[in-house]
Amino acid sequence: MLSKLTGTGVALITPFKEDNTVDFDGLKRLLNHVIQGGVNYLVVNGTTAESVTTTQEERWEILSLILQESKGLPIVYGIGGNNTSDIVRRIEKADLKGIHAILSVSPYYNKPSQEGIYQHYKAIAEASPVPILLYNVPGRTGSNIQAKTTIRLSELPNIIGIKEASGDLLQTLEIIKYSKKDFLVISGDDMLTVPMISIGAQGVISVLANAFPQKFSEMVDLALKNQFNKAAENLKEFVEINPLMYEEGNPVGIKQVLELKGICPSNVRLPLVKCSEGLARRIQNAVEAMK
C-alpha cells in the first residue's frame, strides 16, 4: 500500500461545461493526459476538484468514470470536512471498492484544538475500511495540525500518512523524525516538493501535475533518486507559473492552463469565477516560456 502512494499523485480538477454540468469528456482527456505523463496515482474529489461545490451524485459519477479509466493506477479519494459525525456516516455509506486510501482535510472554520483534531481523525480512522491520509493545509482551514498531533496520529493503525501543506519545513522534519517508521509524508506544496523529499518526504500530491504531468513526475523521480541538483533545475521551471495558479483561487489558474492545452474548458463554479483577462495573459506567457 505505502509504496503505491509514493512519487507523484495528481490532485485532479473537475472539468465543467459552459452550462456548469460536469464535462465527462474533458475528464477523460485529462485522465489520458496525466496517465500518459507518468503520474503514480490519482487523487479524486480533493479541494482542487471543487468538491465543496459538487453534489454527492456528481462525485460518485466522477469516481465511477475514473475507476473505469484509471488503467490500474491507485486512487485516493477525498472525504473531509468539519462535521466529524457526518464524515463518519459518509464513509460508512460509501462504496469504497477500488479506493486505496481516503484523503481527509483537517476541519476548517471551527478551528478545533489539537485534541479535537486528534479525536476527529481517530473517529474517521476507526470508521473507515480503507487507510486514511491526513491533510494539513492551514491556509485553507485556518488551523494547523501541529507536529506532535501528527506524530500521535501516526500511531493509529489505519492512519498511514499526511499530505503536509503547512509550508513549514521544520514542522515537516519533526514529523519525519518522530512519526512511526512507515508513515508517509507527502508534500502538499508543489514548490516545496524537492526540499521536502530531501529531508525524507516520499512524494507530492500536485496541482501542477494536471497540466505538466511528465515534467513534474520526472522532477519527483529525480529527487527520490537523490539527484537533487537535476531535480532543482526542473523545479526552477515552475517558479514563474506556480504563483499564478493561486492568484485568483484554486483551481482557477490550473484550469486556464488546461484550456490553453486543449484538454478541458476553464469553467469553475461560483463562488469561484474564471480568471481575469490580465491573469489569463500572464498565464499564457508563462506557459509559452516553459516550452
Catalytic residues: 135, 163
Rg (CA), the chain: 18
Cell numbers representing residue 132 in the block: 486514511
Q: What DSSP assignment string belongs to 62-107?
A: HHHHHHHHSTT--EEEE---S-HHHHHHHHHHS--TT--EEEEEPP
> Which residues, 6 or more positions from 165, have their beta carbon under 8 angstroms from its beta carbon?
135, 136, 137, 138, 139, 187, 188, 189
Specify the 3-state DSSP secondary structure of 9: strand
Q: Would you say 44 and 78 are in contact if contact means Cβ atoms under 8 Å apart?
A: yes
| CA atoms of 287 and 261, how far apart (whole Å) | 9
Residue in the block written with cell 501516526: 154
Closest CA to 193 of 1, 10, 3, 4: 10
| CA atoms of 38 and 7, how far apart (whole Å) | 10
Specify the 3-state DSSP secondary structure of 212: coil
Residue in the block written with cell 508534500: 187
| CA atoms of 161 and 221, how far apart (whole Å) | 20
Cell numbers representing residue 4 in the block: 503505491
